[in-house]
């Protein structure tokens, strides 16, 4: 019996292989987002819809360009797509070889019944029909024993690797930085702003300590170009914080 291969070199092209709903994107999320090329994201970028199958050719073209650029720089790259077709995998291996980057097949072998069940929680545009999921699952099983012969340097079963700690470490580092526990400035008062208004508003937000608008009270101000909203709000009052008024 062969010993289990759990080797993931750095850098590598990690090719996820699994049916819809098997958990590919969940595993991919344990690597930094810049390292993950998700076919659904490229579909959304070219068509505004992650599930738009008609956009697949354009999405693959755009993904291939980013893949080449990353591998030319020898950057760790995770390819999040079903990758259950041999021709798709052959192209990925050839691309990585051209750039001298090792390849890892990361097989997500979640049972077919679970992959199918998980489609029920999805919106109709994201749910993959059962026969398609079953065909993808069967293709993954069929491919498994031939993956080393296809040219993958390592074939790793996702169940056998430990990624949870890496994910938690990243989350913890981000939280420490937000709170200023890493010696940096932290977000301070802006933590509350992000919680209620979202991260995209943060760069536009200013606290102003006194304002005639609020009888000398503190206000929050959001600016985008000449457009401006001011809101009388204390940092601890959500209700007042969300009732912004145009000044
Ligand atoms: P994903 O959305 O990660 O699956 O997980 P996927 O393979 O990327 O699916 P497609 O191909 O894009 O359609 C599907 C569901 O399974 C849960 C996730 O939280 C998500 O709701 N999941 C995944 C688990 O419960 N446990 C896991 O270990 C992985
Ligand atoms: Mg996914």
- Domain map (residue ranges) of the chain: 13-167, 187-246
Among protein residues, the one with the nearest Cα to ligand 1's atom 20 is: 23
pLDDT along the chain (247 residues), means of 10: 86 98 97 96 95 93 98 98 98 98 98 97 90 98 98 97 94 94 92 92 89 77 92 50 43
pLDDT value at residue 50:
87
Atom index in ligand 1 nearest the CA of residue 121 equals 21
Among protein residues, the one with the nearest Cα to ligand 1's atom 25 is: 23
Atom index in ligand 1 nearest the CA of residue 22 equals 7
69 closest CA partner among 48, 93, 95, 87: 95
Q: Which ligand is nearest to the CA of 115?
A: 1
CA of 4 to the centre of ligand 1 (A): 24
- The tokens of 39 are what? 């076919």
CA of 111 to the centre of ligand 1 (A): 12
Asked whether 165 and 143 are in contact (CB, 8 A), the reply is no
Using most ligand atoms within 8 A of CB, pick from 25, 78, 119, 123 the residue to mutate for ligand 1: 25
Atom index in ligand 1 nearest the CA of residue 118 equals 15
pLDDT value at residue 214:
66
Kindly report the three-state secondary structure assignment for every residue of the chain.
CCCCCCCCCCCCEEEEECCCCCCHHHHHCCCCHHHEEEHHHHHHHHHCCCCCHHHHHHHHHHHHHHHHHHHHCCCCEEEECCCCCHHHHHHHHHHHHHCCCCEEEEECCCCHHHHHHHHCCCCCCCCCCHHHHHHHHHHHHHHHCCHHHHCCCEEEEHHHCCCHHHHHHHHHHHHHHHHCCCCCCCCCCHHHHHHHHCHHHHHHEEEEEEEHHHCCEEEEEEEECCEEEEEECCCCCHHHHHCCEEC
Please tell us whether the domain made up of 13-167 is placed in CATH 3.40.50.300: yes
In the chain, count H helices and then E strands.
10, 9
Site residues for ligand 1, CB cut-off 6 Å: 18, 20-26, 40, 82, 118, 128
pLDDT value at residue 236:
45
pLDDT value at residue 242:
41
pLDDT value at residue 1:
58
How far is residue 17's CA from residue 146's CA, in Å, rounded to a whole number? Answer: 13
pLDDT value at residue 9:
98
pLDDT value at residue 210:
76
How far is residue 237's CA from residue 97's CA, in Å, rounded to a whole number? Answer: 57
Kindly report the three-state secondary structure assignment for every residue of 150-201.
HCCCEEEEHHHCCCHHHHHHHHHHHHHHHHCCCCCCCCCCHHHHHHHHCHHH
Confidence (pTM): 0.88
Asked whether 32 and 94 are in contact (CB, 8 A), the reply is no
């Amino acid at each position: 019996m062969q010993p289990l291969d759990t080797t993931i070199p750095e850098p590598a092209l990690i090719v996820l292989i699994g049916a819809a709903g098997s958990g590919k994107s969940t595993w991919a999320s344990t690597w930094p987002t810049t390292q993950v090329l998700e076919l659904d994201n490229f579909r959304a970028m070219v068509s505004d819809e992650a599930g738009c199958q008609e956009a697949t050719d354009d999405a693959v073209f755009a993904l291939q360009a980013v893949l080449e650029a990353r591998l030319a720089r020898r950057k760790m790259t995770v390819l999040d797509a079903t990758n259950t077709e041999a021709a798709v995998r052959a192209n990925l291996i050839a691309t990585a070889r051209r750039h001298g980057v090792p390849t890892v097949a990361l097989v997500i072998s979640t049972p077919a019944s679970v992959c199918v069940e998980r489609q029920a929680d999805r919106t109709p545009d994201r749910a993959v029909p059962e026969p398609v999921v079953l065909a993808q699952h069967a293709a993954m099983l069929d491919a498994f024993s031939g993956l080393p012969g296809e040219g993958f340097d390592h074939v790793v079963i996702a169940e056998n690797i430990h990624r949870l700690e890496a994910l938690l470490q990243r989350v913890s580092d981000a939280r420490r930085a937000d709170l200023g526990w890493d010696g940096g400035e932290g977000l301070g008062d802006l933590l509350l702003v992000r919680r209620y208004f979202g991260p995209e508003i943060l760069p536009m937000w200013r606290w102003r300590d006194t304002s005639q608008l609020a009888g000398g009270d503190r206000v929050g101000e959001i600016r985008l170009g000449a457009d401006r909203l001011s809101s009388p709000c204390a940092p601890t009052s959500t209700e007042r914080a969300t009732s912004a008024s145009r000044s």
